[in-house]
Amino acid sequence: MDGRAARTGQGFDRQGRDQVHRQEMDMDWQTSFPALARENILVTGGGGFIGAALVRALLRIGAKVTVLGRHAYPELAALGASCLQADIRDAAAVQKAAGGVGCVFHVAARASIWGPRAEYMAINLQGSRNVLAACRREGVPVLVHTSTPSVVFDRKDLAGVDEEQAYATQPLCSYAASKIPAEQAVLAANGASLKTAAIRPHLVWGPGDRNLIPRLAARARAGKLAVVGRGSNMVDITYIDNAVYAHLLAGQNLLTSATAAGQAFFIGQEKPVNLWQWINALLFRLGIPQVRRRVPLPLAYGVGAVLELAHTLAKSPQEPGMTRFLALQLARSHWFSHARAERLLGYRPLVDTATGVERLLAWMSGEDLVPPR
């Protein structure tokens, strides 16, 4: 335990904010990651939310970056990245992209919670196997894998658990079911010629996020959001810059001391938040009525089961309004110890939650992502 249990809550004092601001301002990115700055780096899924932010950070420190993704990314190319348009399921294309690379950040994944399981397995599991095979064949020495805390979420509350927590044995969504064996394969591949690590950022949000917070705000505006359970559950959240920072720290470590090799790392903010207090505070700032309606967890779970069955029988591509996994995520606590990341990676959040919220709201306003009244 890293002492975060004593710091749970919603507020963040001024002294804490000032300390984080100083840390962020004092960081010299180029001198903080000298090993990464010297490498040719491949980022799979570099066009996604986390991937694109990681690419920009790597370019900022002076690394030569290649992006492997399904689309063209002119905005990243304009910044200096080389972009290869290919699918992670294409083993030959992945191997070609890995040639001459000194470090791979494997971020590509199908991350939604609903869809055909075969597709999740093909992208998240077989895609990861393709990356591993490419690293071995091309002699890539370092692989940092973007994973998720969902690999240990087994329907019960998780409060301050560390990386010794067992993998979930009954994952309720295809995303988690595919990410478990993918992470296991990556960590098992760690050895003398290939150093690997897995980063598990939780509920990543911030500027550039067009999914989590905008969708939540739209559902609340439409009156389709309700507190599931007692509303007292604590959760970890991760501002995008902090998720990127953890990836950079892992890459730098594996290229130098490699004390993080073969390890997974939970990543989050300075402390967990009460999920529904945090959501309602965000909605208030967005001018959206706060969520007051409550639904018991057993009812939400049962509705999720019925909707999953109905969507499956109808072969609907649309995500159900509720699933069993979502009901549990909205009602259960899921926050984690960051002690291992602090000890082995030197991880501390660069951007505190209060500052991150201000940046998110400013970005959403500029991008016209605030739901209309």
Query: Residue 32 has what pLDDT?
Result: 87
Query: Residue 3 has what pLDDT?
Result: 46
Query: Residue 112 has what pLDDT?
Result: 85
DSSP letters spanning 132-171:
HHHHHHHT--EEEEE--GGGG--SS-EEEE-TTSPPPSS-
Tell me the C-alpha to C-alpha distance, in Å, between residue 47 and each of 50, 64, 67, 69, 185.
8, 16, 8, 6, 24
Model-level pTM greater than 0.95? no
Model confidence pLDDT, tens digit, residues 94-110:
999 999 999 999 999 99
Q: What is the fold, at CATH topology level, of the domain defined by 4-366? A: Rossmann fold (3.40.50)
> Other CB atoms closer than 10 Å to residue 13's CB: what's the count?
10
Provide the annotated active-site residues. 175
Q: What is the mean pLDDT of each run of 10 residues along the chain (373 residues)?
A: 42 34 48 92 96 96 96 94 96 97 97 90 98 98 98 95 96 95 98 98 95 90 94 97 97 98 97 97 94 96 95 89 94 97 96 95 82 62
d(CA 227, CA 217): 14
d(CA 296, CA 103): 47
Query: Residue 28 has what pLDDT?
Result: 61
